Structure 1
Amino acid sequence: MATIETITNTLTSSPLSSLIENMGISIAKAQAALDSNSIDMLKSLASSTVEIGGDEISLLNLGFVPSFYAFTEASFDAKMDFSLAESTSFNLDAVVSVETQVVSTTVNVGFARKFDQSASASSSIAARMVSLPPPENLVTLLKNLSAGGSTTTT
């Protein structure tokens, strides 16, 4: 019984609202890390140059832009299966034989009690992430910079 109680206590001590909240916080942290990575890649592309026709041109000015990603959906599943069985059996066999002035008795008694239990639990978290185009303001800014214009966007 200890296995079933342990699994039940573990799952019921983590309310669904806490599980969903933790998943949301984890996704927000992951999204921030993805955004930070894209910004770092943008800086790297701006500082990396190649020589073309005697001119040093940044990869950013050549049109290379970092990839941006976003989580579009997330799901959380928790499943539990419990099974408990108990059986009791009692057997009594007796044999009596009588011979001349001798009586013999054979008694066979059996008692069995059987417990069977099983428990299982599983959980899964799934998230879907897609690539997005760079932000429109970034593209406009990059076009203005490559054309020798200003860095302001409208």
Structure 2
Amino acid sequence: MPSVGQELLDVPLPEMVAKLAMGIATAQAALDENSVNTAQLLAETEVPVVFGVSQIIAEDGTVSFTQSPPIDVSLLQIGLLPTFYQFSEATIEVSMDIKTTTSRQTNVNVSAKAKVGFALWSSSVRVDISHNRKFGKEVQGTSRLFTRLAPVPPPERIAPILTVVDNRPDGGA
């Protein structure tokens, strides 16, 4: 019968750790690919945006509005960015309960009978021996895998830099 220590040594912990690491690497690659696909979709999807509205109040108090013509810009250009995630923690928890029982039971029953009569004597002895031996082993194990994902800021270079160039003679004043 293997010892409790041997039972614990038989748990393939290095293999579990390696599989956890490879699982995280595969999942991280899938998360990164999803974020890149989202960034591409945001860059390709354009919406019309009006960048300027002027409110004009006339001398007589009437108000009118003029706007610049709408310009198609990508969702990425107006500030929508994909979410990136990374695994910040991974835990493997293994617990094992091992219970072994051994019992031995021996029963001895002795009975004797004697008869006495005229010039006759007899006796009998009866011995009953029963022997039971019982071994039991109970093993219970549980394992738990826990990972934590944390959102991280997108790479700095993914967001476009907005530069305003105003070529109007009055500089927009």
Instruction: State the TM-score bracket (shorter-chain normalisation).
Output: 0.7 to 0.9
CA RMSD of aligned residues (A): 2.9
Q: Which residue of 2 aligns with 1:135?
A: 155
Mapped to 1, the partners of 2:47 and 2:41 lie a distance apart of 13
Q: 2:108 aligns with which of 89, 92, 95?
A: 92
- Measure how far apart 1:122 and its partner are: 2.7
* Structure 2 portions without partners, runs of 5+: 51-69, 166-173
**What is the TM-score of this pair, normalised by structure 2?**
0.66
Q: TM-score of the superposition, structure 1-length normalised? A: 0.73
Deviation at 1:102, TM superposition (A): 4.7
Over alpha carbons, which structure has the higher Rg? 2
For 1:32 and 1:148, how far apart are their aligned partners in 2? 37
Paired position in structure 2 for 1:152:
none
Secondary structure at the counterpart of residue 20 of structure 1: helix
Could you say which residue in structure 1 is the equivalent of 2:77? Answer: 61
The runs of 5 or more residues in structure 1 that have no matched partner are 150-154
Identify the structure with the greater helix proportion.
1
* TM-superposition CA deviations, 1:17-73 (whole Å, max 9, x none): x43333223222221211111000011111223344554332222211111101111
2:37 pairs with 1:40: yes
Work out the percentage of aligned pairs sharing the same amino acid: 28
Residue 89 of structure 2 corresponds to which residue in structure 1?
A: 73
1:114-129 paired onto structure 2 within 5 Å: 114-129=134-149
Q: Distance in 1 between matches of 2:130 and 2:153?
A: 77
